[in-house]
């Protein structure tokens, strides 16, 4: 069986992905959808919903609060702990992620150089 996952990020619809059973745990299970909330402004800034399935909330900084975390850029839906989710990301989401991460690393490097 497969499910359709929709990607709505910062008000832009960035496509769909076909998802099959998740193997995150010992047993195969339907994949989970995600709803991303910013802990600073409580904005729901992204929904990666699976048709007919609940979306579980994840607390992640929005892009506005991007540089308050040393762990990665705000506004990113990249879940390093969920390989199946990452592998299913549509090309539009991957392009967005590349831009976010490149900008974040560039700024972090500039901040570090300035501090030296």
pLDDT for 109 beyond 90: no
pLDDT tens-digit map of 39-68: 999 999 999 999 999 999 999 999 998 766
CA 10, distance to chain mean position in Å, is 11
Which of residues 69 and 114 earns the better pLDDT score? 114
pLDDT at 24: 65
Q: How many CB atoms lie within 10 A of CB 62?
A: 21
Strand partners, 6: 16, 49
Q: Which two tokens stand for residue 112?
A: 């570090």
pTM equals 0.86
Mean pLDDT of 83-111: 91
pLDDT, one tens digit per residue, over 20-36 is: 887 766 678 889 899 99
Which DSSP letter does residue 54 get?
P
Q: How many CB atoms lie within 10 A of CB 57?
A: 11
């Amino acid at each position: 069986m497969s499910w359709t996952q929709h990607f709505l990020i910062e008000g832009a619809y960035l496509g769909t992905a076909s998802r099959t059973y998740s193997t995150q745990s010992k047993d195969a299970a339907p994949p989970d959808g995600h709803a991303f909330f910013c802990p600073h402004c409580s904005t729901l800034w992204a929904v990666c919903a699976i048709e007919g399935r609940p979306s579980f909330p994840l607390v992640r900084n929005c892009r506005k609060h991007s540089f308050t975390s040393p762990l990665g850029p705000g506004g990113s839906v990249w879940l390093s702990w969920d390989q199946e989710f990452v592998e299913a990301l549509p090309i539009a989401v991957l392009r967005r992620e590349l831009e976010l991460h490149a900008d974040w690393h560039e700024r972090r490097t500039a901040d570090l150089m300035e501090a030296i």
